[in-house]
Amino acid sequence: MLRCASREFGVIEYDTSTLISFPRGLPGFESERLFVPIEREATKPVLFLQSLVSPDLCFLTLPVEAIDPNYRIALSVDDLNVIGIAAEADKSLRCLALVCAGEKGSPTVNLLGPLVINPETRQGVQAIRDDSDYSVQHPLFPGPEAPKCL
Amino acid sequence: MLVIRRRAGESLFIGEGVEIKILEVGASQVKLGIEAPKEVTILRSEVRETQQANQAAARQASPELMAEMLKKLRR
């Protein structure tokens, strides 16, 4: 087991075979390519993505199905190539939405650009669509006054 | 905001080095060609929004918010 430092979790042990790689990084974090996935019983279904090289960088993500069971995204051929999938292949992929704590304790999730991960190669890409109705800042818990999404 | 009407095949310039060509006008999409110096960053707006959202997401949630979030998610 190897070790890396995390501000959130202290020193964590990981196996290189569990790392998730983003060959293109993430927008705004282009040089961050490798992340340690951390799932804790106490915080399920949250999946933390701890940067391997930046102890301060730990993203909080949720599986999209925990937010919207009917969530669908069409991936571009380009994005599929990044994670090593032929366009016509029928694969089950992991799809994670990044959680943003939000200003007034009202967290939002990015459903327009989820992290899509090929579980076989453990390669991921932030798949940003321009033809989707989802939002970059989808409220995780719509308030009572907020208009209901249909 | 400056509004300019252009047809396919026409173009416009921004400053010295940037030219934007209207290549194709479809029913729901417009295809643009952009000539710009290498040092000019060109980003689709949704990529720029994602950059900003990622940067905001990198600021971590407080333990209180985390606890409340989990409570709601598990209900």
Segment B31-75, tens digit of pLDDT: 999 999 999 989 989 899 999 999 998 876 677 777 777 777 776
What pLDDT is recorded for position A145? 57
Rounded to whole angstroms, how far apart are CA atoms A120 and A17? 11
Residues facing B19 on adjacent strands: B13, B35
pLDDT confidence of A114, banded at 50, 70, 90?
very high
Average pLDDT over residues A16-35: 95
Residues of A with CB under 8 A from a CB of B: 8, 26-29, 43, 45-46, 57-60, 62, 66, 98-101, 105, 107, 110, 112-113, 126, 128-130, 136-137, 140-141
What pLDDT is recorded for position B36? 95
CB contact under 8 A, B57 and A107: no
Q: Which residue has the tokens 């060959």?
A: A23
Q: Could you say which of B58, B65, B70 has the minimum Cβ distance to residue A43?
A: B70
Q: Is the pLDDT of residue B6 over 90?
A: yes
What pLDDT is recorded for position A44? 86
Q: Using a CB-CB distance cutoff of 8 angstroms, which residues of chain A are in contact with residue B68?
A: 105
What pLDDT is recorded for position B66? 73
pTM: 0.83
Rounded to whole angstroms, how far apart are CA atoms A133 and A131? 7
Token pair for A79: 């994005």
**Residue, of A18 and A42, whose pLDDT is higher:** A18
A105 sits in the region (left: phi over 0; alpha: psi -120 to 50; else beta) called: left
Q: Does any CB of chain A come closer than 8 Å to the CB of residue B62?
A: yes
Q: Which residue has the tokens 């399920």?
A: A44
* Min distance B32 CA to chain A CA atoms (Å): 15
Q: Is the pLDDT of residue A115 over 70?
A: yes
Asked whether the CA dihedral A51, A44, A140, A96 is positive or negative, the reply is positive
What pLDDT is recorded for position A9? 87
pLDDT confidence of A86, banded at 50, 70, 90?
confident
CB contact under 8 A, A29 and B54: yes
Search chain A and give the residue with CA nearest B60: A101
* Min distance B46 CA to chain A CA atoms (Å): 7
Q: Does any CB of chain A come closer than 8 Å to the CB of residue B49?
A: yes
One-letter amino acid for residue A84 of the chain:
G
Least confident of A27-41, A88-102, A123-137: A88-102
What pLDDT is recorded for position A149? 63
What pLDDT is recorded for position A29? 96
Helix (H, G, I), strand (E, B) or coil at B65: helix
Phi then psi for residue A53, to 5 deg, are -105, -20
Q: Is the pLDDT of residue A11 over 70?
A: yes
